[in-house]
Chains A and B, each alone.
Chain A
Amino acid sequence: SQQGEEDPQALSIQEGENATMNCSYKTSINNLQWYRQNSGRGLVHLILIRSNEREKHSGRLRVTLDTSKKSSSLLITASRAADTASYFCATDRWFYSTLTFGKGTMLLVSP
């Protein structure tokens, strides 16, 4: 069953702007992860945030987690054309290491 749902479904911005994507989920989680997928390729792990963390940074990426609202956001600062991709959030189920992925946000960064 689907757990994470990303919002918006698609986002179009100019290079240099910031991009924000949101993920909402329904049940308790151990951690939440964000992945990127370039067109027609496999997914690449970006960042993992644990349920007891509120914010995490990695380079130009900033992830927040609000467990009370069951939501997370991914911020990409100073975006580049190379950031054009689909971005997925994934949550793990409490007793297993399987992940449930959302349907993704398609980000288009124009030069």
Chain B
Amino acid sequence: DVKVTQSSRYLVKRTGEKVFLECVQDMDHENMFWYRQDPGLGLRLIYFSYDVKMKEKGDIPEGYSVSREKKERFSLILESASTNQTSMYLCASSHKKGLNNEQFFGPGTRLTVL
């Protein structure tokens, strides 16, 4: 059974803290993605990666960075958390580029920045 796991379901951090959100997939997928989901705005792509050590900016990369040192792990980093980064963060993975790019999602991390 395919699985994407995220390190925390709920997280509370203070403004200015450095925050790490971890995502691990066990499907040997090449592609991994980080989204944030906010009411009324839907899912927005933050960063994605096609391969180890490779990263690409999505639609809203400002205030975030990512790391992909191993194929199965994709980390989202908030260098200095701000209240406007309070959101639901969703990680996803997919098998390859091209037409068949069904994405598998993790359960999400609900982050609150105080």
B102 touches A88 (CB 8 A): no
Assess whether A20 is interfacial by the CB under 8 Å rule: no
A97 touches B42 (CB 8 A): no
> Most chain-A Cβ atoms within 10 A of its Cβ — which of B48, B92, B103?
B103
User: In residues 51-102 of chain A, which contact B (Cβ within 8 Å)?
Assistant: 88, 90, 92, 96-102
Least CB distance from A30 to B in Å reads 5
Question: Size of chain B's interface in residues, with CB distance under 8 A?
Answer: 31
Assess whether B61 is interfacial by the CB under 8 Å rule: no
B40 touches A42 (CB 8 A): no
Cα-based distance from A3 to B37 in the complex (angstroms): 16
B45 touches A98 (CB 8 A): yes
Residues of A with C-beta under 8 A to B4? 42
- Known A97-B31, A103-B41; judge A30-B110 contact (CB<8 A): no
A103 touches B108 (CB 8 A): no
Residues of A with C-beta under 8 A to B102? 33, 45, 48
Question: Size of chain A's interface in residues, with CB distance under 8 A?
Answer: 26
A42 touches B110 (CB 8 A): no
- Known A1-B59, A98-B48, A101-B43; judge A41-B107 contact (CB<8 A): yes
Cα-based distance from A54 to B34 in the complex (angstroms): 31
A96 touches B41 (CB 8 A): no
B110 touches A103 (CB 8 A): no
Q: Which of B41, B48, B96, B101 contacts A92 (CB 8 A)?
A: B101
B104 touches A45 (CB 8 A): yes
B103 touches A88 (CB 8 A): no
Write the residues of chain B forming the contact surface with A, with a CB cutoff of 8 angstroms: 4, 31, 33, 35, 40-43, 45, 48, 50, 58-59, 88, 90, 92, 94, 96-108, 110
A-B contact pairs, 23 of them (CB 8 A): A2-B42, A35-B105, A40-B88, A40-B108, A40-B110, A42-B105, A43-B43, A45-B103, A48-B100, A88-B42, A92-B101, A96-B97, A97-B50, A97-B97, A97-B101, A98-B33, A98-B58, A99-B101, A99-B103, A101-B43, A103-B41, A103-B42, A104-B42
